[in-house]
Structure 1
């Protein structure tokens, strides 16, 4: 395959050598033309951990860093994203009172922020459940998210948010009140109506129109790398393949691809992104 003149970046991908294909998935991304990826840590359940305190996330974070090093050895550039998946609040509520679950999650995010502070990670992750939850769960989730925004602001880093489908416009004042510019909040699995920085699934049908509007956004596969769910959400080759297909069909221009894969993620994450 001819190597493109621009980088190809997957903004949200998981690589799991234990429960999934591991480095073979990363090799697929590389062979398809990918060059950069943001490796997002998986939930504690993927590691058989039920955290009782923030430091129990250490194993998850350290394993993610170890995987990142292995992926870098393949020739890919990796930015690590660490934090606490918002669905942990539901899982942990079966073991602890909600007030303690909230504290555990905040402690885990504070721990993740230390990895950003020392340069081992480039961004945090947080959010709130993307499914229906009781009001007290939603309120606690928003307090955890507000804490995550504060941690991101203190470390001048981006944060990826998992949340319900839709604009999540209320996160703009939440972030800004914490001192975090809303463009540093990346809406994972985004819809075009979000005022945050959207990260679109590579097959999103609105990408051509958004390119014509010169919209700033990134692309992702949200590849889960779980043998029990092969190819979910979409496969590791999807971001480069979708990009090249749009280019070959004349639907987007190379400057659009450069904005998606280099300019926007470099701005948001503060990383140099180049071929």
Structure 2
């Protein structure tokens, strides 16, 4: 196989050998020109973990890192992002009080922060529900998100957030109060109008225009790797294929590719990206 001419990073992808294609999906990613991924932890229940304390999330993080090692054996560079999916609060509250669930999720983020501190992960994952919920749960979720941003500020690491569709303007003020640089908050499944760092799905129609503006953003598939939902949200080949397609069509340049897939993620995650 020829060496790639440029790096291609998928900024939000799940690989799940238990419930999905696992390493076969990574092989597709590599064959299509992919070189680097941000491997994001899945919700605890998808790995058959049902936390009652923050330390229980360690099983999720350890399995994520074990998967990362398998991926690296295929020649793909992995940047793990560990944390607590915002939908955990909906899963926890039937068996815990809202206060208990909030504490468990904050402690789970503390647990993830320990992995970042010792170099086993490059950043945290957090957010708030992207679906309709009660004001009480939304308030608790914002407290959890604020805790994640505080940890990100203390650690000097990125925080990737899963939240409602839209700009999430209020998170900038939240980051300022938490002592975190908002330019290192990645809005997963983002949109151009967000003041945070947008991670755009590979098919996003604004990518050529944003490249003309020299805007900073990353690209993602949000591939879930679940056999029950094959190809959701996009397949593992989508980021490298779309990058190559846009280049061949003259809609983006190699300079744009290096900004999307190397320079921007290096700045956001504090990593080095080479091919």
Which bin holds the TM-score, normalised by the shorter protein? over 0.9
The CA distance in 1 between the partners of 2:248 and 2:198, in whole Å, is 24
Map Cα deviations across residues 61-95 of structure 1 (whole Å, 9 max, x no partner).
00000000110011110000000000001111111
How do 1:1-275 residues align onto structure 2 when only pairs under 5 Å count? 3-275=3-275
The CA distance in 2 between the partners of 1:256 and 1:3, in whole Å, is 19
TM-score by length of 2: 0.99
Map Cα deviations across residues 175-224 of structure 1 (whole Å, 9 max, x no partner).
12111110000000001110000000000011111111100000000000
SS at match of 2:79: strand
TM-score by length of 1: 0.99
Structure 1: give runs of 5+ residues left out of the alignment. Answer: none
SS at match of 1:38: strand
The CA distance in 2 between the partners of 1:176 and 1:80, in whole Å, is 25
The CA distance in 2 between the partners of 1:79 and 1:176, in whole Å, is 26
Map Cα deviations across residues 87-111 of structure 1 (whole Å, 9 max, x no partner).
0011111111000000000000000
The CA distance in 2 between the partners of 1:98 and 1:143, in whole Å, is 12
Map Cα deviations across residues 101-155 of structure 1 (whole Å, 9 max, x no partner).
0000000000000000000000100000000111000000000000000111111
Name the Cα RMSD after superposition: 0.8
Structure 2: give runs of 5+ residues left out of the alignment. Answer: none
In the alignment of these two chains, the number of paired residues is 275
